[in-house]
Amino acid sequence: MSTQTDQPSFVDRYPEEAAVVRRSLLVAFVMLGIGALMGLVQALHRTNVLRIIDSADYYTVLTAHGVFLAIVFTIFFLVGLYQWAVTRSLDRSPVDIRFTHAWATMMTVGSLMAGAAILLGFIDEVPVSADVLFTFYAPLQAHPIFYAGLAIFIVGTWMAGADWFRTWLAWRKDNPDERIPLQTFMVLTTMIMWYVATLGVAVEVLVFLLPWSLGLIDSVDPLLTRTLFWFFGHPVVYFWLMPAYLLWYTVMPKIAGGRLFSDPLARVVFILFVLLSTPVGIHHQYVDPGIAQGFKFIAMTNTMFLLLPSLLTAFTVVASIEHGARQRGGTGLFGWLTALPWRDPAFTGMALAGLLFAAGGFSGMVNAGMNINYLVHNTLWVPGHFHLTVGTAVALTFMAGTYWLWPQLTNREIYSRPIALAQVVMWFGGMALMSNAMHVAGLFGVPRRTAEPQYSFDFPALFGTIGELRLQIAVGGTLLFISTVLFLSNLAFSLGTPKREGFGQTIPPALSGPEDSPAVLDNMKLWAAIAVVLVVLAYALPLGAIISDNGLFGVGIEPYPMLVRPLFDWAGATLAGLAEVIA
């Protein structure tokens, strides 16, 4: 990689912001390393290839894998990327960089608290654990420090959003008649979606799970906390995906040698995500008793509409890279595919991520359909699906994007481009193997989330054998782990490559620019209001029904594990006494 440009790089122009971005990415990658190790342990354990942990510790491993990768890795990468995108596309610094440092620190502290609670689950002598999985709803109960860490982390992301909105408002004062630059538009719409979505998890954690874990309240309603979790739990998948989309829409055409096909279409896609991401969460609860079929049907309909922005993306992004290929001299109906820069790990990684995302689209449609969801619910099919989406479309795009972004943040070259290329290709191959085997195993009825997937019945394999599928999962998981190690070590060696000039990059304007789109697309207040209305329509009745059936705090269930109950019983008693005195 010896391309030279006369452009100053991002770190030349915005050294302080680049430092924040680098720090966010480094936290993300540390978590990626730990999470990937947990993934390997799991893949080898449940396939019975290599068992280094006790099966009782499986859920600690699974929780660490889920929380570190799906929450900390993805969201830290997001805030780093978005800080870069806002600074770059508005061409201005945050209003107050101390505030930027403040949210980055808060998010880090929150992650460390939640992460410590999870990892202490391995040490029996310490009565702290958080084996509650990525979906941390009741009746599983974690140590209060886990919930407190999560809350601090989420508040950190809110502050990050506020920081970007503030920067935009300051920019708008100086540029009252200009359209919002596309990257900033993507950041702002993502954050509107995030503010709406995190209301659910904030209520779940602060009103129910944290007081419950502290012993302040005796019981919670599992259905209510599940519903509040999924209120957040589906839009969070778009929170992972939006930064990948940002890279696909704005960076990938550039790397491919072309220009974004349509800026208006990109804006429409992000607006659709603002509107439709949240009122769909109940589609994760198709088999939950206590929610009427009609509400599930509404969630399904909204979900099917939500396919639209992803299909629009498939068109716009592929058309943009085809434009690049044809500018590079590609011809023919399919011949242009060979004119793409396949040796560029940033391009290849993102393209392969998009390819597997298309496959994930199909299994996602199956998950979304109320009737066929029953075929695959809680089977290994579901992890197979989301390893294509968050595990590849998002994670592989982030890694590929890093190969492009990192030199601009450090003025240092990536240590080895061939290793980078091998790494992204290995991720693709490993995931094709593992995810395919998981989907097939799911159709045979192999359950998810268990260290011992052996029940009293035999799984009939329609073809091949269960042993063969297990082997594929183990080999695929190992390839993915090796790929992660290659990525991290390549990046670590890149810290030591000599500094030099010439890493500046421009992003070419879209073929059809923002002036072709109606100005109403930039009206953030309008879209936020409509999103809230849609959420109220989708959730008011189901939540009302749940609360009127069981009350706010349920009919009384015993939490598991009962860690802190003895410790905090006195606190609850004291507070109850106080309440009586006050009353």
Partner 1 sequence: MSGTTVPAESNETEAEPSVSAATGQEEIQRELSHEEYDPKGTLALILIYFAILMAMWVFMYFVEFLGNELVVVG
Partner 2 sequence: MTLPSFVRTRGGMLVGLVMLGAIGFELRTVAGMLFGIDLPAAPYFIGMVAILSIVGVYLDVTRSTSPDTAT
Active site amino acids:
234, 238, 385-387, 448-449
Distances (CA, A) of 168 to 88, 89, 530: 12, 10, 21
Nearer to partner 1, 4 or 454 (CB): 4
Q: Closer to partner 1 at the Cβ: 42 or 89?
A: 89
∠ CA 384-385-391, nearest 5°, is 85
Q: Select the binding partner of residue 346 from partner 2, partner 1, none (C-beta < 5 to 8 A, by kind).
A: partner 1
Any contact of residue 7 with partner 1 (CB under 8 A)? Answer: yes
Omega before 264 within 30 of 0, i.e. cis: no
Binding-site size for partner 1 (CB under 8 A) equals 70
Integer-rounded Cα Rg, in Å, for the chain is: 24
Q: Which of partner 1, partner 2, none does 503 bind, CB closer than 5 to 8 A by kind?
A: partner 1
Rule CB under 8 A: say whether 89 interacts with partner 1: yes
Please return the burial class of 582, using the count of CB atoms within 10 Å of its CB with bins 0-12, 13-18 and 19+.
exposed
Which two structure tokens, joined as six digits, stand for 509?
Answer: 């304007």
- Residue 422's binding partner, choosing from partner 2, partner 1, none, with beta-carbon cut-off 5 to 8 A by kind? partner 2
Query: What is the contact mask toward partner 1 in residues 506 to 545, using x (rule: CB under 8 A)?
Result: xxxxxxxxxx------------------------------
Of the residues 116, 319, 370, 426, which one makes contact with partner 1 according to CB under 8 A: 319
d(CA 376, CA 443): 6
Q: What share of the chain is helix, strand, coil (3-state, %, to 5)?
A: 75, 0, 25
Site for partner 2 in 365-424 (CB under 8 A): 418, 421-422
CB of 185 to partner 2, least distance (A): 32
Please report whether residue 194 would count as binding partner 1 according to CB under 8 A. no
Dist CA 141 CA 563 (whole Å): 8
Q: CB under 5 to 8 A by kind: which of partner 1, partner 2, none does 101 bind?
A: none
Which residue blocks in 521-583 are alpha helix, DSSP H?
524-550, 565-582
- Interacting stretch for partner 1, rule CB under 8 A, among 30-38, 473-481, 502-510, 547-555? 502-510
d(CA 381, CA 336): 34
Q: CA angle 25-30-32, nearest 5°? A: 90
Task: Give the integer Cα–Cα distance in Å for 61 and 67.
Answer: 10
Q: In the structure, how many helices (H) and strands (E) does the chain have?
A: 21, 0
Residue from the set 158, 342, 415, 459 that interacts with partner 2 by CB under 8 A: 342
Q: Which of 109, 106, 90 is nearest to 98 (CA)?
A: 106
Interface pattern 13-52 for partner 1 (x via CB under 8 A) = x---------------------------------------
Complex with partner 1: residue 4 or 105, whichever CB lies closer: 4
| 523-to-198, 306, 530 alpha-carbon distances in Å | 22, 21, 11
DSSP string of 35-76, one letter each residue: HHHHHHHHHHHHTTS---S-GGGHHHHHHHHHIIIIIIIHHH
User: Which option in partner 1, partner 2, none does residue 322 bind, with CB closer than 5 to 8 A by kind?
Assistant: partner 1
Which one of residues 93, 327, 378, 436 is an interface residue with partner 1 (CB under 8 A)?
Answer: 327
The residue (of 462 and 555) whose beta carbon lies closer to partner 2 is 462
CB 436, min distance to partner 2, A: 6
The binding site for partner 1 (CB under 8 A) comprises 1-5, 7-8, 13, 88-91, 181-183, 254-255, 257-259, 261, 263, 314-315, 318-319, 322-323, 325-329, 332-334, 336-337, 341, 343-347, 358, 362, 365-366, 372, 375, 403-404, 407-408, 414, 417, 420, 503-515
List interacting residues with partner 2 (CB under 8 A).
335, 338, 342-343, 348, 352, 418, 421-422, 425, 428-429, 432-433, 436, 440, 443, 462-464, 468
